[in-house]
Structure 1
Amino acid sequence: MSTPPFDTVAWFEVATDDPEGAQRFYGELFGWSFETDGGSAEDGLDYRLIRYQGGEAPKGGVYGTKGASPGHAVFTVAVADVAATCDRIEGLGGKTVTKAVGNANGPDFAYVTDPAGNLFGLFTPRP
């Protein structure tokens, strides 16, 4: 997968406690296909990569929350440094909801909110 340009929307995620239902819905609606993300599975997470018809690389994922977090659909922005971007967000009135930096099996990522409370994600692609 090619590295997306920094500071662009590069991924999306649908989080749900019914990943089978989400996979069925979006698969039938848009013709998307799904595959288990091996690194996430090693960490005990249910994360399914989404591919578009004719697309060579995944563009998003379905995250099975097991009820541990609220359902959401978010866009995710590729950034050069997740921790530094979280600091900037907080300086601009937003909040860091959760952050994983130094993740062994996946990219650094965070969920953050803007000053109005809208959730979105950040990640730094692995080289």
Structure 2
Amino acid sequence: MTYHSVMTPEAPQPAGGVWESQGAFPNYAVFYVHVQDVAETVKRGQGLGAKVLMEPVSDSAGFTFARLQDTTGSHFGVFSAPAA
């Protein structure tokens, strides 16, 4: 997976990023929200009716990501940063 971090001046961690899906997903923006615990957020989302599109995965830098679909059909992601 190719991922480009978006950094803001003097920020201790990325403020966002761009992931190249290489055609694996439809061509539209998916917004990610920073959360403390991705697995717990996914579990809570499922309890509220969300569908898991991508189970939590971690990259080599320690970021954890997951993708969900809400009850209206909108896709969104959640992520957590490695401990500072």
Interval containing the TM-score (normalised by the shorter chain)? 0.7 to 0.9
Deviation at 1:85, TM superposition (A): 1.2
* Partners of 2:59 and 2:5 in 1: CA distance: 18
Q: Match of 1:90?
A: 46
Q: Match of 1:56?
A: 10
Q: Superposition pairs for residues 11-22 of structure 1, below 5 Å?
A: none
Q: Quick one: which of 87, 92, 99 aligns to 2:55?
A: 99
Aligned residue for 1:74, secondary structure, equals coil
Aligned residue for 1:84, secondary structure, equals helix
* Partners of 2:7 and 2:59 in 1: CA distance: 24
What percent identity do the matched residue pairs reach? 41
* Partners of 1:89 and 1:70 in 2: CA distance: 22
Q: TM-score under structure 1 normalisation?
A: 0.54
Q: TM-score under structure 2 normalisation?
A: 0.76
- The alignment of Structure 1 onto Structure 2 pairs a total of residues equal to 80
Aligned Cα root-mean-square deviation (Å): 1.9
Which of the pair has more CA radius of gyration?
1
Report the AA paired with residue 71 of structure 2: P
